[in-house]
Chains A and B, each alone.
Chain A
Amino acid sequence: MDIFNGLLLGLSTATTLSNFAYCFVGVLLGTAVGVLPGLGPIATISMLLPFTFGLPVDTALIMLAGIFYGSQYGGSTTAILMNLPGEASSVVTTLDGHEMAKQGKAGRALAAAAIGSFFAGTVGTLFIVISAPLLASLALTFGPAEYFSLIVLGLITSMVLASGSLLTAFGMALFGVILGLIGTDVNSGAARYTFGTPYLLDGLDFVIVATGIFGLGDVLANLENEHKRIASVTHVTSLFPTREDWRRMSMPILRGTGIGVLLGVLPGAGVLLASFSAYALEKKISHRPEEFGRGAIEGVAAPEAANNAAAQTCFIPMLTLGLPGTATMALMIGALVVQGVQPGPDILSQQPALFWGLVVSMWFGNLMLLFLNLPLVGLWAKLISVPYHFLFPTICVFIAIGVYSINNSVFDVYMMALFGVLGYFFKKTGAEPAPLILAMILGPMAEEYLRRALLISHGDASVFFTSPVSLGTLTVAALLLLSIVSPRFRKVREEGLQEAD
């Protein structure tokens, strides 16, 4: 199927009443959780995942994807108006966005963020259209050795990019790998770390761990500072960027989009790295770097464009290789597998309506978000003044129902509660859970592909270095690992992440 026919099919899939409606529900929910600090897309998607089992698979994926990229828009609203990043990837937006708001340019900052996001979303979607079929046709040449190397790269990237100390990130990743090993070994069928209970024979469900850590854990952490939370919202005046604004933000949006598109595809990097890198780049090449941090519109437009571009393109490795680059993408795979759809090179030929429908719906979703976010921005800002004591019981109930309905198992709800406590502990100790979650997915995959590659090659490890793709990927991973040791890189990393705190 060529791209034109694909887009036509996508258009007919995405414009059915239910798909259109669920796309809207998705972006609406996404914006809401993006606005609300402490409730991110991972928790929301894991909560809603079981409720999508009854939907057709395309509708389910369209809605879940909408939540994900919708939250990228919503996150910037509170970042600009209240200096509260609703979403981790909006952290850099607070630097200049809130400064602009303080100078009475809130509307222009919001417009820069939304326009940047929309442009990046459009380009990101186009990029999927062109590169996903290409990658899918290449994917068959990827054997176990190539997959293994890509996964190693993803694991290392996620560690290097985690906030906080590297040692903590490394520890979290190792812990994640161990959690991922629980269950029946694929190769021998042996039970590992199951403590003799049949409930653990299939391993820990990643959705349960993610819901516990990101859902319940965040609720617990938020309860603590509930009385401290003050919602002072800056008043929004004109939403129209001036001619000068357009001139200053057009190139940063282009560059941010480019960075986001590329980093979104890199396994393990995701949206956070995209927004940080875009901000750093703009600051570096700007003629007036002194304005950054004091309300430079470039510092809003570029990272917002980058995080939204990455939010679209990180679907590419997930859909075409079945390789989740981020925890959110791992949830998407979960949503697909439950419905009997295996992401991978075959998805374009087996599920063309799903693939193209998703892509077209992403563009629709971005368009809806543009309109949802600009005129209605005041409404979203009000959402934050909803007292948390109304929100948290609702969240808890949804989390519990969601987790129970995955396997109809009370054991899972207990496990989720346990990981909620653990998530709270991570929050208090400043250990970022993202590497843990990703390692829990990628660790067992790495083992599976490593052992399969060695089984097929009869124990000859040179297969990892004779394939060019594998060798190249491993080299990048090694360089990344080496760069941590270099004091100069460490300084850059710490500065970059400090700005985030």
Chain B
Amino acid sequence: MNRREFIVFGGTAAVLASSKIALADKWPSKSVMVISAYPPGGTSDIVARLVADLLTAKFGQQFVIANVAGAAGALAGGKLARSAPDGYTILVSGSAPIAANKVVQANLAYDPQVDFTPITVVAESPALLTASSNAPAKSLQELISYAKANPGKVNIGNPGAGTKGHICAAIISLQTGVEINHIPYKGSPPLLADLLGGHIDFAIDAPSNYLPHIKGGKIHGVAVTSAKRIGEIPEVQTVAEQGLDGYNQALWFGAVGPKGMSPEIVTAIHQAIKEWSDTPAAKEKLTSLGLTPVVNSPEEMRGSIEREIESIRPLVEAGLVQPS
């Protein structure tokens, strides 16, 4: 669907939807579709299923998962943008279709800042820079000085082009001016295997898979990308603590609806997720996935989306991340 078709379609949907908003007080009176932007099994899909289950339990209607995987979430985002904003379709996913795709995809059929109604961020996780046992640097400063002394020699693996790991490394490169070769992998497991085998020196990725190997001494934790250190490996400093002032990057997962969703429904869903995230069961489940529950408000989520987009835009403009 091209942009023009989309605008026509969206307009029609908005007109159709306006008549339904009045029914919001009876919501939900039938099952609700929760779009998951990735195939079953990944972290994003697990989060979507957790949210669907908690909403089912809270509202007594089935919240049914629909996996619309593909194009880094762009197909799912497109589907949500074409849906009626009657509260019967929401999207729960990692930040790519809700934010990053706007700048990293050249032909996105929707604008996440215009076509979506933010509901809430559900959880987040920092990324972790790790080094193999025979890597030439064990700290960020060593890595930067090594990169300056050996231009073009630093390889950092990431779990896919345009992923948070890639973006985190690109920002380090942008802030310090050192040259980094980004080596993309298809997801975390092959990247971790190459790091353990010493075939690649560094990796930036979500931490959960790497923590046991850091504790086992097989690889080194170099830096945490968020503002706070990770509880399991308190000795590993953040990127900001190692000299890159203001550096703060996290992967997050959140819920959004189509443009024009009624504030009552948004609040109801937000409240339900908030209540759930305070329970010990939810905390335990999210922690086991390497996630921290971070439920903010719909307005705060709008800010999260904008920060995400604006942190990537300069990378695309500098040619460090290629739009596709």
Contact between B190 and A338, CB atoms less than 8 A apart: no
Contact of A407 among B42, B70, B104, B187 (CB under 8 A): B70
With A143-B197, A184-B71 in contact, is A190–B322 under 8 Å at CB?
yes
Least CB distance from A145 to B in Å reads: 8
Tell me whether A455 and B197 are in contact (CB under 8 A): no
Decide yes or no whether A201 CB sits under 8 A from chain B: yes
Cross-chain contact A340 with B71 (CB below 8 angstroms): no
Q: Is the CB of A140 within 8 A of B197?
A: yes
Q: Which of B41, B162, B181, B322 contacts A455 (CB 8 A)?
A: B181
Q: Chain B residues with Cβ under 8 A from A144's Cβ?
A: 194, 199
Tell me if A142 and B190 are in contact (CB < 8 A).
no
Inter-chain contacts of A338 with B (CB < 8 A) = 39-41
Hey, which chain A residues are within 8 Å of B74, CB to CB? 198, 201
Contacting pair A53 B69 (CB below 8 A):
no
Chain B 88-126, CB-CB to A under 8 Å as 1, else 0, gives 000000000000000010010100000000000000000
A191 is an interface residue with CB less than 8 A from chain B: yes
Q: How many residues from A make CB contacts under 8 Å with B?
A: 38
B68 & A53 in contact (Cβ 8 Å cutoff): no
**Shortest distance between the CB of A217 and any CB in chain B (Å):** 25
Would A198 and B197 count as touching, CB distance under 8 A? no
A184 touches B324 (CB 8 A): yes
In the bound complex, residues from chain A placing their C-beta under 8 Å from that of B228 are none
User: Is A38 on the interface with B (CB-CB < 8 A)?
Assistant: no
Query: Which B residue sits closest to A143, measured CB to CB?
Result: B199
Contact A458 B162 (CB under 8 A): no
**A residues near B66, Cβ cutoff 8 Å:** 408
Whether the pair B183, A456 counts as a contact (CB closer than 8 A) is yes
Q: How distant is B206 from chain A, measured CB to nearest CB, in Å?
A: 13
A342-B189 contact in complex given A187-B161, A188-B322, A455-B155, C-beta closer than 8 Å: yes
* CA A340 to CA B155, docked complex, whole Å: 27
Q: Tell whether, in the assembled complex, residue B42 and residue A340 are in contact, meaning their CB atoms are under 8 Å apart.
A: yes
B4 within 8 A of A: no
Q: Which residues of A contact B72 (CB under 8 A)?
A: 184, 201
Assembly CA distance A58 to B68 (angstroms): 25
The 8 A CB mask of A363-398 against B (1 = contact, 0 = none) is 000000000000000000000000000000000000
**Quick one: given A140-B193, A187-B161, A337-B41, are A199 and B75 in contact (CB under 8 Å)?**
yes
Q: Which of B153-197 contact A (CB under 8 A)?
A: 153, 155, 160-162, 181, 183-190, 192-194, 196-197
Shortest Cβ gap from B118 to chain A (Å) = 23
Are the C-beta atoms of B322 and A189 separated by less than 8 Å?
yes
Tell me, yes or no, whether A202 is within 8 Å of chain B by CB.
yes
Task: Give complex CA distance A202, B160 in Å.
Answer: 13
A141 within 8 A of B: yes
CB distance from A199 to the nearest CB of B (A): 7
B194 touches A186 (CB 8 A): no
Residue of A nearest to B152 (CB): A458
A339 contacts partner chain B, Cβ-Cβ < 8 Å: yes
What's the least CB distance linking A190 to chain B, in Å? 6
Cα A345 to Cα B155 with chains together (Å): 22
Given A144-B199, A455-B155, does the pair A340, B41 have CB atoms closer than 8 Å? yes
Chain B 38-58 per-residue mask, 1 if CB under 8 angstroms from chain A, else 0: 011110001000000000000
Provide the residues of chain A in CB contact with B188, threshold 8 Å: 342
Residues on B with beta carbons closer than 8 Å to the beta carbon of A143: 194, 197, 199
A245 near B: Cβ within 8 Å?
Answer: no
- Tell me the complex Cα distance, A46–B47, Å: 27
CB neighbours (8 Å) of B322 from chain A are 188-190
The answer to whether the Cβ of B296 comes within 8 Å of any Cβ in the partner chain is no
Residues of B within 8 A of A140 (CB): 193, 196-197
Question: In the complex, A342→B46 CA distance in Å?
Answer: 16
- Distance in Å: Cβ of B38 to nearest Cβ of chain A: 10
Within the complex, the shortest CB–CB distance from B219 to chain A, in Å, comes to 12
When the two chains form their complex, are residues B69 and A344 in contact, meaning their CB atoms are under 8 A apart? no
Q: Is A452 an interface residue (CB 8 A)?
A: yes
B70, B75, B187: residue with the most chain A Cβ atoms closer than 10 Å: B70
B34 to chain A, nearest CB (A): 13
Q: How far is the CB of A445 from chain B (nearest CB, A)?
A: 9
- Please name the residue on chain A nearest to B213 by beta carbon: A346
Our pick among A142, A186, A188, A340 for the contact of B197 (Cβ within 8 Å) is A142
User: Is the pair B70, A198 in contact by a Cβ cutoff of 8 Å?
Assistant: yes
Judged by a CB distance under 8 angstroms, whether A63 is at the interface is no
Q: Contact: B162 with A201, CB < 8 Å?
A: no
User: Is B200 positioned at the interface, with any CB of A under 8 Å from its CB?
Assistant: yes
In the bound complex, residues from chain B placing their C-beta under 8 Å from that of A141 are 197
Cross-chain contact of A189 among B161, B186, B192 (Cβ < 8 A) = B161
Contact pick for B184, options A187, A196, A198, A337, CB 8 Å: A187
Q: How far is the CA of A139 from the CA of B192 in the complex (A)?
A: 12
Docked CA distance A408–B64 (Å): 13
Quick check: B155 and A190 within 8 Å, CB to CB? no
Q: List 13 A-B contacts (CB under 8 A).
A: A143-B197, A184-B324, A186-B186, A189-B104, A189-B322, A191-B324, A198-B78, A341-B41, A346-B193, A407-B67, A407-B69, A409-B68, A455-B181
Please give 4 more A-B residue pairs, beta carbons under 8 A apart, in addition to A188-B322, A455-B183: A53-B40, A141-B197, A199-B75, A455-B155
